[in-house]
Amino acid sequence: MADKAGINRSLSTIRTELEYLRDSGVLNPAQFNSIFAQLPQQGGIPSQYIDPHYGGPQMMNPGAIAQQAQDPASPANPAHPNHHAWVKSFASRLGQAATFGAGATMGSDLVNSIV
């Protein structure tokens, strides 16, 4: 891990730049507060903040899906009449995520090879 002095310098620089963007009117106060709350504390202590727009780590909970599969009223249950549509939409979302990830990786590799 990087040294604490380096981390503190970087955090200080980020905070200063965010304050400049806020004072310039580029960031509104709500955006500034959201970003600022996500920054680690001095010394690299991670923030406990989770942006509600992203839902945090509970977005994909295999345990919950397994529990839903036991409930006959849930589309996750193989005996449910809408199970096929549920699986299809779930697989589609996974495929879209994989495609996006591959595209982002290729784009990043392309930019890095140019630079």
The pLDDT value given to residue 20: 92
Q: What is the structure's pLDDT at 53? A: 61
pLDDT of residue 87: 79
From the first residue on, what is the mean pLDDT of each consecutive set of 10 residues in the chain (115 residues)? 77 89 89 84 73 58 77 80 80 80 80 77
pTM over 0.75: no
SS (H, E, C) 7-63: HHHHHHHHHHHHHHHHHHCCCCHHHHHHHHHHCCECCCECCCCCCCCCCHHHHCCHH
pLDDT of residue 52: 63
* pLDDT score for 56: 52
As given in the structure block, the two tokens for residue 55 are: 């839902």
Q: What pLDDT, on a 0 to 100 scale, did the predictor assign at position 69?
A: 77
The closest alpha carbon to 42, from 4, 93, 96, belongs to: 4
